[in-house]
Amino acid sequence: MQITVSHDIFPIAGVFTIARGSRTKARVLTVTLVADGQQGRGECVPYARYGETLDSVAAQIAGLPDEFDGARLQTLLPPGAARNAVDCALWDWQAKLAGKRVWQLAGLPAPRPVVTAYTLSLDSPENMRAAAARHAARPLLKIKLGTPDDMPRLEAVRAGAPGSRIIVDANEGWSADIYADLAPHLVRLGVELVEQPLPAGADDMLGEIARPLPVCADESCHDRASLPALAGKYDMVNIKLDKTGGLTEALALRAAARAAGFGVMVGCMVGSSLAMAPAVLVAQDADITDLDGPLLLAEDRAQPLHYDDAKVYPPDAALWG
């Protein structure tokens, strides 16, 4: 088994800003696995918030033994970006070797197109209203917030897209007091979900204050081991393959979250269609899908995922799976 890792850069269309900062490029690692005359590919986005860098993740992958399978991989690498790229490459390789699609190997029904959120990055109220108006035909908008001065932004987006469903992502940027003040206004403006309002590790107050709309764990939820600590604080979990460490754990987390009574959101880092493709399988019965990474890019992979104004479509075999 030969594994190669390449560092690829995809320019973002404009500037993408969240509460933690801004960027103009998506920097990803692409893993290519070759064995028995077939190759598989996977992509990951190392994330500094979780202590990952391009170099550290590449080093984790370089340290893998020459031979392993999907089950052993779960013990060789921890949840995170490195395992994600290798796990997805393994699934892709196995599908090509078997002459089947990944969902057939996984015992899943054939995937269908799913409605995905479109993200409006953090900006001035005026610019966010203009962005909302440009995308007002989309059924679901996600707003990046997470500052003490978010109320004008909320009002601006609702004014720009009066007919769209709205979800909000604070990226750990609020305090309990700020969230308590904002929550009634979120409800008033028809917001359906708030994602990670408080910092992970400092979110116990969510179990003590009123939750007038569903609260979704993102930074607080990585894999199945995260679930017990979320009970009573969160209503939903955001499953991202770069956090779970690949499709294998993402499917297991989805099942465990449902069994524990959590709603399911399937999200992404800002990456290419290769990163989104396996997540489309996880999103098949999700309550909320947020797989818009390629829509935020100025360039994408060859044979990219197909998107229309509402939905993301399952990948062609030429891309993945």
- Which is it for strands 140-144 and 165-169: parallel, antiparallel or unpaired? parallel
Confidence (pLDDT) at 149: 86
Rounded to an integer, what distance in angstroms lies between the CA atom of residue 105 and that of residue 4?
Answer: 24
Tokens representing 3 are: 């594994």
Per-residue pLDDT tens digits for 186-208:
999 999 999 999 999 999 999 99
In whole angstroms, give the CA distance from residue 270 to residue 47.
Answer: 10
Q: What does pTM read for this prediction?
A: 0.95
Can you give the chain as a three-state secondary structure string?
CEEEEEEEEEEEEEEEEECCEEEEEEEEEEEEEEECCEEEEEEECCCHHHCCCHHHHHHHHHCCCCCCCHHHHHHHCCCCHHHHHHHHHHHHHHHHHHCCCHHHHCCCCCCCCEECCEEECCCCHHHHHHHHHHCCCCCEEEEECCCCCCHHHHHHHHHHCCCCEEEEECCCCCCHHHHHHHHHHHHHCCEEEEECCCCCCCCHHHHCCCCCCCEEECCCCCCHHHHHHHCCCCCEEEECHHHHCCHHHHHHHHHHHHHCCCEEEECCCCCCHHHHHHHHHHHHHCCEECCCHHHHECCCCCCCCCECCCEECCCCCCCCC
Using CA atoms, how far residue 1 sits from 41, 79, 207, 291, 320, in Å, is: 13, 22, 48, 31, 19
Q: Which amino acid is residue 68, in one-letter code?
A: F
Angle, vertex CA 61, rays to CA 55 and CA 62, nearest 5: 85
283/108 Cα distance (integer angstroms): 12
Residue 148 confidence (pLDDT)? 83
Residue 71: how many CB atoms within 10 A of its CB?
8
Amino acid at 106: A
Q: Which pLDDT score, from 0 to 100, does residue 318 have? A: 96
Backbone angles phi, psi at 188, to 5 degrees: -60, -35
Q: Note the pLDDT of residue 20.
A: 78
Give the residue numbers marked as catalytic.
144, 240
With a cut of 50, list the residues of the chain below it in pLDDT.
none
pLDDT (tens digit per residue) in 271-307: 999 999 999 999 999 999 999 999 999 999 999 999 9
Angle (deg, nearest 10), helices 151-160 and 125-134: 30
